[in-house]
Chain A
Amino acid sequence: GAGVSQSPSNKVTEKGKDVELRCDPISGHTALYWYRQSLGQGLEFLIYFQGNSAPDKSGLPSDRFSAERTGGSVSTLTIQRTQQEDSAVYLCASSSQGISYNEQFFGPGTRLTVL
């Protein structure tokens, strides 16, 4: 079946602009995660959605970052007033449930470049 998909694959924007990154999880997966992969920083957890529960936003680096998940499926990560340090690959992952660990399946990522 189809895996996790993300769009766009690449995004170049100017400093100060807002961007939206989209994630389509695997059908039926109730848990969805966003991570950021920066050069030299490895992978950082940003936010986690599980079903209809309130999301775990503990990894969001600033209030310029927000995410929503509509209808328990598609998720959008929004970065407002982008800064150059926001340049990174943003990865989305989904898993079948969040109560006990189930493998997280990753998307191909969105490469964001802030000029």
Chain B
Amino acid sequence: AQRVTQPEKLLSVFKGAPVELKCNYSYSGSPELFWYVQYSRQRLQLLLRHISRESIKGFTADLNKGETSFHLKKPFAQEEDSAMYYCALRGGGADGLTFGKGTHLIIQP
């Protein structure tokens, strides 16, 4: 069975500090990993995916197959980064995503 674990329910950092949101997964094959974000009173939206190897809004995430991790990082947090962040996995040919329980990121001024 596939599983996504986000160990932190809540993460609070000061503006300008580095941010790392942890995500670990369990899957026997080669998964596709994603980060979704939900800002206050907005819809859930895709932030980035590992295949693209891109930086979005200053965030990056590297898939580490050895550690089965896909941590989300940003070197300098901004107040507008405050949101709920969900790590998600797609595998096994099914298109439904398996989500972690989410991390509430709060950036303090």
Which residues of A are interface residues toward B (Cβ below 8 A)?
3, 31, 33, 35, 40-48, 50, 56, 58-59, 91, 93, 95, 98, 101, 103-109
> Are A42 and B97 in contact (CB-based, < 8 A)?
no
Q: How far is the CA of A93 from the CA of B46 in the complex (A)?
A: 12
> What is the size category of the interface that chain B forms with chain A?
10 to 19
Q: Select the residue from B88, B95, B102 with max chain A CB neighbours within 10 A.
A: B95
Q: State the 3 A-B residue pairs at the shortest beta-carbon distance, nearest first.
A: A42-B101, A45-B96, A43-B99
- Chain A nearest CB from B75 CB (Å) reads 26
**Known contacts A42-B100, A42-B101; is-contact A106 B95 (Cβ 8 Å):** no
> Are A107 and B95 in contact (CB-based, < 8 A)?
no
Q: How far is the CA of A40 from the CA of B32 in the complex (A)?
A: 24
Which residues of B are interface residues toward A (Cβ below 8 A)?
32, 43-46, 49, 51, 86, 88, 90, 94-102
Residue from the list A33, A41, A105 in contact with B95, Cβ < 8 A: A33
Q: How far is the CA of A101 from the CA of B48 in the complex (A)?
A: 13
> Are B102 and A42 in contact (CB-based, < 8 A)?
yes
- Chain B nearest CB from A77 CB (Å) reads 14
> Are A48 and B96 in contact (CB-based, < 8 A)?
yes
Q: Select the residue from A3, A40, A43, A59 with max chain B CB neighbours within 10 A.
A: A43
Given contacts A35-B96, A41-B101, 11 further A-B contacts (CB under 8 A): A42-B102, A43-B97, A45-B97, A46-B96, A48-B96, A58-B94, A91-B44, A93-B44, A95-B95, A101-B32, A107-B43
> Are A50 and B86 in contact (CB-based, < 8 A)?
no
In the complex, which residues of chain B have a beta carbon less than 8 angstroms from the beta carbon of A91? 44
In the complex, which residues of chain A have a beta carbon less than 8 angstroms from the beta carbon of B45? 105-106
In the complex, which residues of chain B have a beta carbon less than 8 angstroms from the beta carbon of A104? 46, 97
